[in-house]
A and B are shown apart, each in its own frame.
Chain A
Amino acid sequence: MAKSTTPVVQTVGLCKTFKDFWRRPRVEAVKDLDLQIQPGEVFGLLGPNGSGKTTTIKMLLGLLYPTKGRISVFGKPPTDVAVKSRIGFLPEESYLYRFLVAHETLDYYGRLFRLPSRVRHERSDRLLDMVGLRHEAKRRIGEYSKGMARRIGLAQALINDPEFLILDEPTSGLDPIGARQIKDVIRELGKKGKTILLSSHILADVEDVCDRVTILYGGQQRAAGDISELLRKTDATQITAPALSADTIAQVRGLIQRLERKDIVEVSNPRVRLEDFFLRIVKEAQAANIRTFGALGGGAVPEFLTQVEESTTAEVVESLVASASRRVEPIPEQALPASRRESGPSKEVIEQLLGIPDAPEEVAPAMDNVPEQIPEESQAPRASVDADVEVIDELLGHADRKSEHRKEDQS
């Protein structure tokens, strides 16, 4: 069965004008927005404050009505009740009931989805595990910190195992653990074929997880496209290697000058990301059983979110097989990132550097080789990048240092 090509979200000439008491137009929040989100896509909606991101999301959810233009979600109007059963929504703030405890909150939203009692309880428990709040499930939401409430917000957005997840500023108010966890969830769900719309002005988050983005400014679309295309820097080449001596660097500099008649712009030691560093410290503290009253690290994404439903099995299996086969395919040179490909003779430079006469044309990097300490889900969307790294590793003859390379690549 062919994968559905009907867009999950489609807007045509979407406009939203807020009017004052006398019906005079006051603010044009969204102007002529054409948007398409395809099934299985992790789509980023970017823009500064007041650019119309949240207004667009509210229209997609039927909370606001468009002033002009058309809008469809799963091919139907966003106010259609049936459509809503396929959507999960995490708003920009946790608009939860202060008087309910976490478990009751999830149970209430589960009831609105008409989930059977057993399923509600099972999912609530698993989601609370996932967001690390199982031990606080009997406390009232009103007593929660902002971050803890955000985690419950995420859990409620997933209670129905949505096909389409809308996350508005999902990492705001969260500590780095929570932020990382949300990104991991997004990656995991994206990998399983869920469609995700992520609105944020934390660009690093979007860059980490999104396939495609649209940038809004003043309610209008200013840029749109694949994130790798948009961010590709074609005027520079970056080579990452283990620490080199000053002598080696000088030789490399000389070689590049000789072959390319260009100078190296910057030579520095790569840094570990602060997020990774922070998470390592917290993990150490958790390992030492230091007591905390807040959210715990959280568990894995519950199975029900990653299981493939019977009705869509064939479709999803097909897509997974296709993506898996893509992973084990040899990476053609054209598939290399622009930063490494478009600098022309870079391969020759590397060969000369290493003294390798005939570098292999095709290398098959196997995902099985990913070291255990790196979560698989965080690597999946970057399969092609990993492949690139492995090609270079092979070329450099340093395949045993893969994990460090991968981190550097991420940074």
Chain B
Amino acid sequence: MSNIWAVARHMIAEGIRMKIALVFLVLVGLVVLGLPFSIEGDSSLTGAIQSFLQYALSATAVLLGMLTIFMSRSLADELVNRQIYLVMTKPIARWKYVVGKWLGITTLNFTFLLCAGVTIYGMVHYVRWTHPPIDEVFDEAELENEVLVARHAVKCELPDFSRYADREFQQNVEQGLYDNVPEFNPANERARLSQKYEAKWRVVGPEEARVFEFENVLCERTRANQVQIRYKTDVTSYASDEIFRALWRVGNPGKGTPVYTIPVRQVVGRFHTVRVPGDAVAGDHTLTAYFLNSNPFQGEYKQRSVIEFRKSNEVELLFLVGSFEWNLVRLMTLMMCKLMFLAAVALLMTTVFSFPVACLASFTIYVLAGARSFILEALDFSSNDYGSMFSSVKEFVVQSFAHVYELAHWIIPNFGRYDAVETLVNGRNVSLVWVLQGIAELAMLKTLIVLGFAILLFHRREVAEVSV
């Protein structure tokens, strides 16, 4: 272990003295410290902080990713400049040398990530104190409850639409409605009917109500602890002021909880949050909420809009499970896992290729890992495009590439799956399970596999060059 650490220390010294690491540290510093002065957001305090968090965390991830790839230059340089001759003639096994390099890069990344995290946290509070408030009380409350928190989300339980679909299907069969339908498929018909009932359920007409049930609401059931219902409403016809009025009644007297009535007057087409005291949650950890599409405000016009709760924007119940600080730590841990994997990839490439090629290959893998979902979707879309003249050849190429790509993804992870920036920015909980999955898949399994390849290749290669 001592000579692994010797190589790691040396790597850190190289990073700092050769100024590669310092350049990236300065860049991270400029981004993190400069962003609050250049980002406006939506002019609200919450918007400003969310924008800052979004850009600062994303920029940090990208810059440290680049640093990781550039730091792997060390191994390539030692091979080219032949410093490796002196190292490999010392009693250090080759695997220890590669692991030492990886440990050095990882330690630098950890340090920089720590610095970036502390700075970002500090700047969040700086923005909080210095941002001019629109509505001081509202801004602070929104920030405290929706951004600087770690909330767990529970989606509403949908009714069993298949039951209604089956009933109608049976009625239709009895009435012989399908008798003359060519190539009739009962399963498809049931699914269609089910979708119809769901679509109907999602639309709330004027003066109509809808019930949302939430289960597994494992929060503190006290009045002081608030739970939040988050939803987005789309309306069929806009009022002149683009505001919809409605009423929420939260609680279930049948289960012995108080009922809270909350009239809302909100902008259409945006996400909104309704805060409810935690004692509205029943003892069986369920919460019942009624939504009434009716204007509860006296003296205002009668609302005629039809409100739709779309499937893509499901109604959620959010409740506090942790602090922003620990959420940030968990997000940084996920970032660190990605950087650990990337360091292994970069070292693997430099054991095989010269630095420019290795750098290009590492960046490619970085991009492939980051855009995995997008690329797979694109490939799926392409493979279904039969319109062109060369559709069969094209399909063959695309399908082949897709298979290769999927095969490569057995090793190349889906970075998007562990991208927690959006989650943190929205005040959602970056769960420990998620982090543990990231550690297991990225930091342990895939990093070890890639590092194993790097060690194997480095062990087999001759580190000296032809010099006759």
For the complex, what is the distance from the CA of A109 to the CA of B81, rounded to whole Å?
Answer: 17
Chain A residues positioned under 8 Å from B395 (CB to CB): none
**Complex Cα gap A82–B90 (Å):** 9
**A81 partner residues in chain B, CB cutoff 8 A:** 91-93
State the CA gap A93–B86 with chains docked (Å). 11
Interface string of A70-114 (1 = CB under 8 A from B): 000000000001101101010101011101100010001101111
> B261-269, B411-419, B460-468: which one contacts chain A?
B460-468
Residue of A nearest to B19 (CB): A99
Contact indicator A87/B467 (Cβ below 8 Å)? no
Q: What's the tally of chain B residues with a CB closer than 8 Å to chain A?
A: 29
The residue in chain A whose Cβ has the minimal distance to the Cβ of B14 is: A99
In the bound assembly, the distance between CA atoms of A80 and B467 in angstroms comes to 24
Q: Are A18 and B17 in contact (CB under 8 A)?
A: no
A219 vs B84: C-alpha distance in the bound complex, in angstroms? Answer: 24
Residue from the set A18, A50, A97, A111 with the largest chain B CB neighbour count within 10 Å: A97
A62 contacts B86, CB within 8 Å? no
Chain B 90-124 interface 0/1 with A at a Cβ cutoff of 8 Å (1 = within)? 11110000000000000000000000000000000
Given the contacts A85-B91, A95-B82, A99-B13, A112 and B3 also touching, CB distance less than 8 Å = yes
**Interface range for A:** 35 or more
- Check A108–B91 contact: CB distance below 8 A: no
- Docked-complex contact B82 and A97, CB < 8 angstroms: no
Chain B residues, CB < 8 A from A96: 83, 86
A27 at the B interface (CB under 8 A) = yes
Q: Is B445 an interface residue (CB 8 A)?
A: no
Residues of A within 8 A of B92 (CB): 81, 84, 112
Chain A residue with Cβ nearest B82: A95
Q: Is A65 interfacial (CB 8 A cutoff)?
A: yes
Residues of A within 8 A of B18 (CB): 99
Residues of A within 8 A of B462 (CB): 63-65
| Residues of the A chain whose Cβ atoms lie less than 8 Å from the Cβ of B90 | 84-85, 109, 112-113, 160
B408 interfacial by beta-carbon distance below 8 Å: no
Q: How far is the CB of B458 from chain A (nearest CB, A)?
A: 13
In this assembly, does A253 line the interface, its C-beta being within 8 Å of a C-beta of chain B?
no
Within the assembled complex, what's the spacing in Å between the Cα atoms of A114 and B83? 19
Known: A27-B468, A95-B81, A111-B3. Contact between A87 and B13, CB under 8 A?
A: no
Is A84 a contact partner of B464 (Cβ separation < 8 A)?
no
Q: Which residues of A contact B467 (CB under 8 A)?
A: 54-55
Closest chain A CB from B165 CB (angstroms): 66
Q: When the two chains form their complex, are residues B464 and A58 in contact, meaning their CB atoms are under 8 A apart?
A: yes
With A108-B6, A111-B2, A111-B3 given, is the CB distance from A156 to B86 under 8 Å? yes
Chain A, Cβ-Cβ closest to B459: A79
Q: A55-B468, A95-B82 are in contact. Are A112 and B87 (CB under 8 A)?
A: yes
**Which residue of the partner chain A has the closest CB to B466?**
A18
Do A84 and B91 form a contact, CB below 8 Å, given A99-B14, A111-B3? yes
Judge if B409 is at the interface, Cβ distance under 8 Å.
no
Q: Please determine whether B468 and A52 come into contact, CB atoms closer than 8 angstroms.
A: yes
For the complex formed, measure the closest distance between the CB of B397 and the CB atoms of chain A, giving whole angstroms: 28
Residues of B within 8 A of A95 (CB): 81-86
Tell me, yes or no, whether B388 is within 8 Å of chain A by CB. Answer: no
Residues of A within 8 A of B240 (CB): none
* B88 lies within 8 A of A108 (CB): no
Q: How far is the CB of B15 from chain A (nearest CB, A)?
A: 10
Which one of A55, A61, A112, A160 has the highest number of Cβ atoms from chain B below 10 Å of its Cβ? A112
Contact B89 A63 (CB under 8 A): yes
Closest Cβ of chain B to A351, distance in Å, is 56
Q: Is B10's CB within 8 Å of the partner chain A?
A: yes
Asked whether, in the complex, the Cβ of B468 is within 8 Å of the Cβ of A109, the reply is no
A384–B28 Cα distance when bound, in Å, is: 71
Q: Which of B14, B86, B463 contacts A89 (CB 8 A)?
A: B86
Distance in angstroms between the alpha carbons of A112 and B91 in the assembled complex: 6
A167 is an interface residue with CB less than 8 A from chain B:
no
Interface residues of B (CB under 8 A from A): 2-3, 6-7, 9-10, 13-14, 17-18, 81-93, 462-464, 466-468
For the complex of A and B, 9 pairs with smallest distance between CB atoms: A111-B6, A63-B464, A112-B90, A85-B91, A99-B17, A95-B82, A84-B91, A89-B89, A29-B468
Given A95-B86, A97-B10, 17 other A-B residues pairs in contact with their CB atoms under 8 A: A29-B466, A61-B85, A61-B88, A61-B89, A63-B85, A63-B89, A64-B462, A65-B462, A84-B89, A85-B90, A91-B85, A91-B86, A95-B84, A112-B6, A113-B91, A114-B2, A114-B3
